[in-house]
Amino acid sequence: MAGPVVGVLALQGDVREHAHALRACGAEFVPVRREHELSEVDGLVLPGGESTTISRLLETFDLLVPLQKRLADGMPAYGSCAGMILLAREVLDGRPDQHQLGGLDITVRRNAFGRQVDSFEEDLEFAGVPGGPVRAVFIRAPWVESASPEVEVLATVPDVPGAGAAAGRIVAVRQGSMLATAFHPELTGDTRVHRLFVEMVRAAV
């Protein structure tokens, strides 16, 4: 059986790593920079990067409104790090001119974990992903400040020594056909989060 066609928004960020993970999960990968490419995919990954820059590029490439429409029509999407910020309905510490795609009824805080030098890794219990903890790489990551009851919380930062204010913070969520993580599973070689998303896309198709 042919895999679903899953695009990766290829305006900025770690597109290649997501492409490798998607192919490993049996999906057909398409880079998305234009509206006609967006129209060809069954689901879309919004990678990490800089959320305000990606927001501006969506306008520059005339993708903002078409993407908002496809998401409103139910296209599955997965956002990692900056992608989570873009999919959120509300952002704290964002720019006034930053565009939101909506889709996830959450409020996120940009750069919640600090600067680049504060990047870290942690093992997380991740609901819906079999095989034990998921190794999470956080790079200038957001966290979910609040989520509506319709949002399923999949992972939180464990309350361990050194966690500080991050302890208990929500870092992975799902709502309907939308999935988001504050971290970068594409950087670890562990494809289980991508496999979960590919299965979500298969179910939608």
Q: Which of 18, 25, 186, 194 is catalytic?
A: 186
Which of 156, 155, 169, 186 has its CA nearest to residue 46?
Answer: 186
pLDDT of residue 160: 65
User: Which one is catalytic: 17, 18, 25, 184?
Assistant: 184
Count how many Cα atoms sit within 13 Å of the Cα of residue 13 in the half-sphere of its side chain: 31
Sign, CA dihedral 146-190-177-61, equals positive
Largest CA distance in the chain: 49
For the question of whether the overall pTM of this predicted structure is more than 0.95, the answer is: no
Closest CA to 73 of 100, 43, 28: 43
Q: How far apart are the first and last CA of the chain?
A: 13
Residue 122 designated active-site: no
Tens of each residue's pLDDT in the chain, 205 residues: 578 999 999 998 889 999 999 999 999 999 999 999 999 999 999 998 888 899 999 999 999 999 999 999 999 999 999 999 999 999 987 677 778 898 899 999 987 766 544 567 889 999 999 999 999 888 878 899 999 999 999 999 887 655 566 778 899 999 999 999 999 999 998 999 999 999 999 999 8
The catalytic residue among 81, 99, 122, 194 is 81
Q: Which of 162, 198, 165 is nearest to 6 (CA)?
A: 198
| Domain range enclosing 121 | 5-204
Count up the domains in the chain and report the number: 1
CATH of the domain at 118: 3.40.50.880
Known catalytic membership, residue 150: no
What is d(CA 200, CA 35) in angstroms, rounded to the nearest whole number?
A: 22
184 assigned to active site: yes
What integer pLDDT is reported at residue 161 of this predicted model?
59
